[in-house]
Structures are given as C-alpha cells and as structure tokens.
Chain A
Amino acid sequence: MADTVGEITPAGEDPSRRDFIHVATMAAAVGAVGSVVWPLVNQMNPSGDMLAMASLEFDLSKVADGSEVTIKWRGKPVFVRKRTPAEIAQAKADDNADLKDPAKDADRHKPGKAEWLILIGSCTHLGCVPTFGGGDWGGWFCPCHGSHYDTAGRIRKGPAPTNLALPEYAFLSDTKVKIG
C-alpha cells in the first residue's frame, strides 16, 4: 500500500497535508456560511421588547361569580373564569370520564382555588377563540371547527388535540393574580 501511494504522489508533496488544507477550508466555509445564515433566520424570532412584556397582573375582584373576563396576554386571549359550584361539581364528576387528554379537575386550577379557572383562550386546534356557553359539555365551544371543551377547559369532542392550555400564573393575594 505504502508503495502505491508513493508512486502516484509527485515527489515533494505530502497528500495528507493537502487533504488537511481541503478539509480545513471546507470546515471554515461551512462555519462562515452558518454564522451568516443564523442571524438572518433568528431575526424572525420574538424580539427583546416582545419578550419583556411577557407578564401582567390582574385584579380578580372585577370578576363576578359564574362570569368570565378575557384579557390579552402575549397577544393571546386569557380567560379568567370564576366558576359556580355547579360547574366545579360537573368538572369533578367528569374526572374519570373518557377523556381525549386526561386531566383531573384539581390539576386545572391552583390548590384551594377551585373557583378560579385561568386558561389560554386559544383553541388548541388552530387558535380560534372559543366562546363560553356553547357546546355539549357546558364549557367552551370553538366556532371555527367545532371543538367542545368542558367546565375545566378539557377537550371533549372535535378536532382539537389537547385541553385548553394553562398559562403560568401565581396568586399574589386573594384578589390579585400574576400571569406569566
């Protein structure tokens, strides 16, 4: 083998050295192209100011029993619903029903705050805003493609794959909640 290589390589040239230069040049070119392309792609991701507005505080005393307030958070609607005992009972009763995206009602609200249901009001199918009171399970109904959600915001029927998402939030006091 060594003899063959010696024969086809012109005297005074080291093939491995030339290969190294080729590989190193290619690697540098790929790195250069990548480092130029990434900023061009990444500029489309959320900008700093968009990320900075990511949390808000909300005063719960404005919401009456059995009603709902829709607030805008990160450009999306958030439903803040004060559930009636009947709605809570109905949601609990369905804990073991045949659910597409199984979840207990207790996991859909903060401990000891069963009356406060806070959800991202964007249908998990294609992002339309469901309306409360429609549908077959007493919860939300999406007008776009007919998804039905129950009183815990769980998907019960229709094309949506998952339950209405829960935003990240915390109670600052009994009447104040911080979303995001």
Chain B
Amino acid sequence: MSGHSTYEPKTGFTRWLDSRLPIIRLGYDSFVDYPTPKNLNYWYTFGGILSLCLMTQIITGIILAMHYVPHVDHAFNSVEHIMRDVNHGWLIRYVHANGASMFLFAVYMHMFRGLYYGSYKAPREVLWILGCVIYLLMMATAFMGYVLPWGQMSFHGAVVITNLLGAFPVVGESITTWLWGGFAVDNPTLNRFFSLHFLMPFMIAGVVILHVWALHVTGQNNPSGIDPKSKEDTVPFTPYATVKDGFAMVLFLILFSVFVFFQPNALGHADNYIPANPLVTPAHIVPEWYFLPFYAILRAVPDKLGGALLMFGAIGVLFVLPWLDTSKVKSLRYRPTARVFFFLFVLTCLILGWCGGELPDKMVFQVGATAAGDPIGLNFVWLSRIASAYYFAYFLIVMPVLGLVETPDAVPDSITASILDHSAEKKGLAHAG
C-alpha cells in the first residue's frame, strides 16, 4: 500500500483486470512483495493468528446463529439443542466458545509484544489506537456473546456489567433502562445483545482493515525498534513472513484443539449450565478469565462510581500511551531499567487476574488473628489495591519519568547491525562458557 509497486500482470486477463480494479496488485503488494524487517521473532506472529481467530469466530458464529433462538424461554434450550442434536453442533459451539478465549489470549500476547518493543511510539500512534479500538470492540463482543446461552453466569454477569453504567450520577438510571429495554435484564436485553453480537465482529473486521492499512503505511516495527534503512534490513513478506506465521498458526491451533477436544469447559463456569434465574444469584459470580484483571480493579475501590471509572480508565489509559512514554528508544531490548518495570507490569496483570477470581475478603496469607478472631494479613481486596496502584503507576509515572531519567544501552545503527551484534554476543558467551 506504500512504496513502489513491483507487480506485473502476466496474462491477458490480469492485465485487463489490473487497469480496471487493481485488486491482485493490492494483494501482491501487501502480502507477497511487502518488505518486512528480517529480524521479526515469534512474538510478531500473533497478528496473523488474530486474523485467523477473527475468521474462525465469524464462520462458527454465523453457523451457530442458524440454530440459536434469542428468546429468554428458548435461548438456553437452543444451546443444548446445538450441543446434543445439531450435527457437529458440539464441535462448532466449543470452537466458538473456546475461540473467544483463544482470541483474547492472542490479543493479550500481541499487546504485550507492542508494549515491549515500543510499537505504539511515533510514527505508529494511530496504528496503536486502532488496535485499542479493536480490543474494546472485542471485549464488548465477548461480553455480549457470553450472555447469549442465558445460563446463571450469563444472566448475572449481564446484570452486574450493565449496572456499572448505572453508577453515573443523574443519567445512570436512564442509561440502564434504555440499555435493558425494561426495568431489568430481560428478553429485550437478550434480543439486542444477540443483534449487536452479530454486528460487532464485522465492525472489528472493518477496523482491522484500517489497522493493517496503518501498519503498511508506517511499516512494521521489529525487536530492535530501529526502522529499516536499506534493502538489506528487510525480506519479502512471502515466503518469509507467511511461512513463519503459518508455522506459528499450526502451533496455536494445536493449543486451541487441546481445549476444544480435551478441556472444552475448563475456561467456562459450571454455573452457566444452570438456566438463568433472575431471583437467585450464584454464590460466587466471576467473569470470564480475560476480564478478571479489570474486575479486580473494579472491586478494589469501595465506591461504586469510583470503581467503574477506574475500571474504564484502565482501558482508557492505553489510548494515550503513545504520549505518556517519553523515551527516545523504542525497544526495551536497549532499556534495561524499563525492562524490569515492564516485567513487573506483566506480573501485576497476572496478579490482578488472580485477585479477580477470588472472593475479596479471602486471605492471601495470614500472619495471625485479632482477639475477636478476625484474621490479620493480606486479603485479596488489598492485594488488588496494591496491584491496581502499580497498573496505573506504570503508565502514568514510570513511563513519563523513566524516559527522562534512565540511561539506555547503545542502540545499533541498523537492523542488520543489531543482528550481527546479537550473534557476536552469543558467540562471546559460548566461548566464555
């Protein structure tokens, strides 16, 4: 999409088409001849994996919609009908349900990779923001999809999340009533969630096109964070990137299959196989694993509005990330101090995920007890408070300040130089060993 096109139509038909709709040229320039940095590692294969995930979800989703009934009286049973009666229905539903988890897993890998190698920094700010929009749409889609089977977790999850919007003063109640189409989560809510769950993947596909477009304008970042300077620094997309992406997809599909065929319900919750009952809330209500860190942030705040704002802020802060990082060096490969803070951040996200799945008053560890018998120690609310504080501090304090005060390592002149340095270092180690 950028640079000079080297496509030459070879047959009469492709020459005829090329002067009318240069679609083959577009494909050739974008996915065959497109120059990619020659040092891309396996962390860079998640982009391709994500497009595979999106396609899988759209195809299985459209099929499921042929058998599913979006009505409170039939939704749960129609899902069981898919599982028991529809030919291969169990497979298609398990691929779709686990596919959501796989999709979110891949997107988290993709995001952490972008954070580590500074892929959000100039000139890739728009590329990053489009990615954040995709992530936001994915979360909305995943949430609404989880409501559709109309089990206990579906229903009460929907109640809790939609009530978050009720936290806003004055307009909160009108917003929730409008969203529900009634005075509680009910049939109108299920109906519209189904409609929107069907629509949103296509919106995601649209933003993905913009995301890839922006990527092809600026060119890919790479582990060194140095932009390609000569032809020597790049290799053509095909066969190099296609083969590497393809191999990573195969490995990813193996992991995917392990879940679909051996542990199809490991990532779900048993309570969701109980039909929704608005009069009884399950004893322990938790969201899907991919929302747990945000759920922990929500519960870390004792105030309803404050918790909701902080949770939305945790995602909002990603949008302004390109302007929070003051470092001139992109890749953390050359920022040893920043690397420590980064791995601490990854650990924090995992801890938040752990907190989100536990009851707030449960003790992480106990050192004693008061006279009244109350335990003394650290409970999960306090652990999530500490972790939430670091989550925000990483973006709002570490990123702006560290870029100004740290001394980064020497950055090589080019991608090729970085590779030669790297292998020289390895050889040196081998000799020393």
The reply on B178 being an interface residue by CB < 8 A is yes
Chain B residues, Cβ within 8 Å of A159 = 299, 301-304, 307
Which of the residues A44, A144, A161 comes within 8 Å of B285, measured between beta carbons?
A: A144
Residues of A within 8 A of B192 (CB): 44
Choice from A45, A47, A127, A146 contacting B159 with Cβ under 8 Å: A127
Q: Is B133 an interface residue (CB 8 A)?
A: no
Known: A70-B279, A75-B278, A159-B303. A128 touches B183 (CB 8 A): no
Taking the closest CB of chain A, its distance from the CB of B140, in whole angstroms, is: 16
A23 to B296 CA separation, bound complex (whole angstroms): 52
Are A146 and B360 in contact (CB-based, < 8 A)?
A: yes
Asked if A76 contacts B281 (CB within 8 A), the reply is no
In the complex, what distance in Å separates the CA atom of A50 from the CA atom of B164?
Answer: 23
Which of B156, B184, B280, B285 counts the most chain A CB atoms within 10 A? B184
Contact present for B178 and A144 (CB under 8 Å): no
Residues of B contacting A125 with CB < 8 Å? 163, 304
B320-361 CB mask vs A (1 if < 8 Å, else 0) is 000000000000000000000000000000000000000111
B281 touches A50 (CB 8 A): no
With a cutoff of 8 Å between Cβ atoms, the chain B residues found around residue A126 in the complex are 159-160, 163-164, 304
A152 lies within 8 A of chain B by Cβ: no
Partner of A143, one of B179, B181, B278, B282: B282
* Residue pair B360, A75 in contact (C-beta under 8 Å): no
Q: Mark B264-300, 1 if CB is under 8 A from A, else 0.
A: 0000000000000011111111000000000000010
Give the interface SS of chain A, mostly helix, strand, loop or mixed: loop
Q: Mark B298-318, 1 if CB is under 8 A from A, else 0.
A: 010111100100000000000
Cα A33 to Cα B177 with chains together (Å): 24
Q: Render A158-169 as a binary contact track against B, CB cut-off 8 A, 1 for contact.
A: 011100000000
On chain A, the residues within 8 Å of B299 by CB distance are: 145, 159
- What chain A residues lie within 8 Å of B178 (beta carbons)? 41, 44-45
Residues of B within 8 A of A128 (CB): 156, 159-160, 281, 285
Determine whether B185 belongs to the interface, using a CB cutoff of 8 Å to chain A.
yes
Do A44 and B179 touch (CB < 8 A)?
yes
B residues at A contact (CB < 8 Å): 156, 159-160, 162-164, 166, 177-186, 188, 192, 278-285, 299, 301-304, 307, 359-361
Q: Measuring CB to CB, which residues of chain A are less than 8 angstroms from any residue of chain B? A: 41, 44-47, 50, 54, 70, 72, 74-77, 121-122, 125-129, 131, 142-146, 159-161
Q: Across the A-B interface, give the 10 residue pairs with the lowest CB-CB distance, nearest first.
A: A75-B184, A74-B183, A127-B163, A126-B163, A128-B281, A126-B160, A127-B159, A129-B281, A75-B186, A76-B184
